[in-house]
Amino acid sequence: MAQLWQLSATDIAALIRDGKVSAREAAQAALDRLDAVNGAINAVVDHRPDEVLARADAIDTGRLRGDRQGVLAGVPITVKVNVDQAGFATTNGVTLQRDHIASTNNPVVDNLLKAGAVIVGRTNTPAFSYRWFTSNQIHGETFNPRDRRLTPGGSSGGAAAAVTSGIGHIGHGTDIAGSIRYPAYACGIHGLRPTLGRIPAYNASVPERTIGGQIGAVSGPLARSIADIRLALTAMAARDVRDPWWVPAPLEGPPVTKRAAICVAPDGLETSPEVAVAVRDAGARLESAGWTVEEILASPPLAEASDAQTKLWLADGYAAMVASAEREGDPAAINVLAGHRATADAVDLEGFSKLLVRRATLLREWMMFFESYAVMVMPVSAELPFANHLDMQGEAAFARVWRAQMPQIALPFLGLPGLTVATGLVGSAPVGVQIVSGRYREDLCLAAGEAIEAGGTPPSPIDPVTV
């Protein structure tokens, strides 16, 4: 019989709702699992067991009293250290923010708590959440549970490593250039970057973000099953007036024909053979599930959107970012910014305005594309998960990393949803695909994701590999 920490969030929620398992039992199982494996991966970097158990006890008391229970009542989860959780430091992986103690919760944290979730810990991120690798000078390095030689992904590397190892059933992550989708890919689980405006967010503990951050960054779930992604999205997406970008769009849109496009090399991506096989295999899985699938050779613009997102994210306020990175003294964060100095220097006010104008044109092309197809399946990355810290191995390696990640970087500029679905292993390296759909059609991504998931995924949760 499976242990509690091995079960899905959906199953744990049902057991607690039916009174077959208590929230305290689920929380204690999660804490015990954390104690057993976190030392090997360093995924959770802040947690308070007494508060976790007190929260679980409150859930149990409410259930016995007959209180209305949320969809995640009693489910152990984790949240990322770059969002406000009252009483905890919003470090964002930097020593400069070790004393940024939040007095209120980020809306996504409030929504998770309103849904009854039990937060068992806070997960690691690279300094400033800049990289697809997870290490920093305040919390240390997070390791991939499947292979320590591979990156766990970033910036939600701690979230992905925790979920993969059975620390919590759902992980909260954030994504401005792939920070949910890539850790899910690298660790062999699933991760959803929702449409801009779907899940409310706001950190009162730090200054308002630049416009690039406001229209590019989102919160979203990582989990071991698509059903759990769906459950988490339902909880996270509740209204919160503090986020002016939040949109009251229904979680289920109108029915559409189950027609999917697959594209192995979107916009000239130099896709590796292993990734190409995974994309075509996902197409075959969809066909087996009754979808009409067409392989297309060219996608709507991605490379241009990726370049624009990099500029919008890193050029706006670049000097201040550099100054902060230098004060922090984190070599990896400094390296990321140095690698984009020429890009940032080339963007003036007129150029910045042109980026925002061009955004509407590119998004229109994608929206017209989704009039013909419900979803598009394409690579998450051009390569299998990178060797750890590849981006620190010189200019050529740095450029290789950013070029390979083009399919992820483009979506935040467009504001479209993207779902990583893990499909298998190549040796010890996970592989999977990215499903994209029109704005606020996460339901179509999830429907396609369930069909692909049914064809097999890497085993999880797993005991972390320690050598």
Q: What is the CATH number of the domain that holds 316?
A: 3.90.1300.10
Instruction: Please list, residue by residue across 432-446, b when 16 or more beta carbons sit within 10 angstroms of its beta carbon and e when fewer do.
Output: bbbbbbbbbbbbbbb
Residue 458 belongs to some domain of the structure: no
The per-residue pLDDT for 243 is 98
The per-residue pLDDT for 356 is 95
Model confidence over 273-307: pLDDT tens digits?
A: 999 999 999 999 999 999 999 999 999 999 999 99
Residue 301 belongs to some domain of the structure: yes
**If pLDDT is split at 50, 70 and 90, which confidence band does 430 have?**
very high
Residue 144 belongs to some domain of the structure: yes
Looking at 8, 22, 80, 129, which residue is catalytic?
Answer: 80
The verdict on whether 8 is a catalytic residue reads no
What's the whole-number mean pLDDT along residues 155-160? 98
Model confidence over 340-356: pLDDT tens digits?
A: 999 999 899 999 999 99
User: Contact 193/218 with Cβ under 8 angstroms?
Assistant: yes
Model confidence over 78-134: pLDDT tens digits?
A: 999 999 999 999 999 999 999 999 999 999 999 999 999 999 999 999 999 999 999
The per-residue pLDDT for 315 is 87
End-to-end CA distance of the chain: 28
The verdict on whether 80 is a catalytic residue reads yes
What's the whole-number mean pLDDT along residues 180-190? 99
Rg (CA), the chain: 20
Q: Which domain holds residue 235?
A: 4-453
User: Contact 124/81 with Cβ under 8 angstroms?
Assistant: yes
What's the whole-number mean pLDDT along residues 51-57? 98
Mean pLDDT of the chain: 97
Residue 155 has pLDDT above 80, yes or no: yes
Q: Which residue has the tokens 């229109």?
A: 364
Structure tokens at 290: 């009754």
Residue 276 belongs to some domain of the structure: yes
- φ, ψ at 377 (rounded to 5°): -110, 125
Looking at 22, 135, 155, 299, which residue is catalytic?
Answer: 155
The per-residue pLDDT for 316 is 86
Looking at 8, 179, 219, 225, which residue is catalytic?
Answer: 179
User: Contact 458/424 with Cβ under 8 angstroms?
Assistant: yes
* Global model pTM greater than 0.75: yes
Model confidence over 369-419: pLDDT tens digits?
A: 999 999 999 999 999 999 999 999 999 999 999 999 999 999 999 999 999
Residue 462 belongs to some domain of the structure: no
Domain total of the chain: 1
Residue 460 belongs to some domain of the structure: no
What's the whole-number mean pLDDT along residues 221-228? 98
DSSP conformational letter for 188: T
The verdict on whether 324 is a catalytic residue reads no
Residue 461 belongs to some domain of the structure: no
**If pLDDT is split at 50, 70 and 90, which confidence band does 467 have?**
confident
Residue 357 has pLDDT above 90, yes or no: yes
Among candidate residues 1, 88, 101, the one with its CA nearest the CA of residue 44 = 88
Residue 73 belongs to some domain of the structure: yes
